[in-house]
A and B are shown apart, each in its own frame.
Chain A
Amino acid sequence: DGGITQSPKYLFRKEGQNVTLSCEQNLNHDAMYWYRQDPGQGLRLIYYSQIVNDFQKGDIAEGYSVSREKKESFPLTVTSAQKNPTAFYLCASSPTEAELFFGEGSRLTVL
C-alpha cells in the first residue's frame, strides 16, 4: 500500500526538549517537504529536499533541522531553539516537480 507515513500522530514535549518527527514514503518520490500549519493559517514551508543527501531551507527553517540519508525518509527535528513549536506538521513528497502527496500530519504540543 503506497503512501506517506508520519509518526507520531500526536506528540507532547516539555519546553527545552528536542523532538524528532518521522516521515517515511514508499512512493519512490525524489522530493520531500516539511510544512508547518498553525490554527486558521495556511501551510508554511520549513525545509525541502529535491534528492537524497540534499536539502534546502524553506521560509521558516529557524529552530528546525532535517536529514535526507535515504530516499524514503525525511525526519524533522524540532529543536529547543524553536520558540513557538506547538503546531500541526505536515510532510509531503512528490515525483520531482509534480503534485505533492501529503501525510496525515503530526500534532506537536509543548507543555
Chain B
Amino acid sequence: DAKTTQPPSMDCAEGRAANLPCNHSTISGNEYVYWYRQIHSQGPQYIIHGLKNNETNEMASLIITEDRKSSTLILPHATLRDTAVYYCIVRAAPHSGGSNYKLTFGKGTLLTVNP
C-alpha cells in the first residue's frame, strides 16, 4: 500500500525553482515526511525532512500543508546536477516500534533540469 504519491516526471529550466509535489493523504500524526534523491546509478542521498513546520537547509526547502496531506520540495535555483529521481517517504517518529525501520521507496519523480 503506497503511502505517498508523486508525479513520475517533471522538467525544470536551469536556474529556475523546481517544485516537486508529494501527496501523503493518509499520513498520521506522528509521521515525518522525508525526501531523498538518487542520481543515476548512485545510492540515494538524504535531502530534508519535516513534521508540520516548513523546513529549510542548504539543499532545499520543504513546505508541508497545514492539514499535512501534501508537501512540496523546493530546489530554489536548479542546476544540471540536480537531475535525479526524487523520493518522498513518510516515516513514524523515533521509538514508534520496529516497523519504523521498514521504509518503502516508491518510484519517485524523475526531475530533469534542462539548460
Contact indicator B94/A97 (Cβ below 8 Å): yes
Given contacts A97-B95, A102-B43, A105-B42, contact A42 B101 (CB under 8 A): no
A: number of interface residues (CB 8 Å)? 29
Report the minimal beta-carbon distance from B20 to chain A, rounded to whole angstroms: 15
Report the separation of the CA atoms of residues A92 and B45 in the bound assembly, to the nearest whole angstrom: 10
The interface residues of chain B lying within 8 Å CB-to-CB of A48 are 101-102
Report the separation of the CA atoms of residues A99 and B104 in the bound assembly, to the nearest whole angstrom: 13
Which residue of A has the minimal Cβ distance to B107? A42
Question: Which residue of A40, A98, A100 has the most chain B CB atoms within 10 A of its CB atom?
Answer: A100
Contact indicator B41/A45 (Cβ below 8 Å): no
Chain B 76-98 per-residue mask, 1 if CB under 8 angstroms from chain A, else 0 = 00000000000100011111101
Chain A 31-53 per-residue mask, 1 if CB under 8 angstroms from chain B, else 0 = 10101000011111100101000
A-B contact pairs, 5 of them (CB 8 A): A42-B104, A43-B104, A50-B101, A88-B41, A107-B41
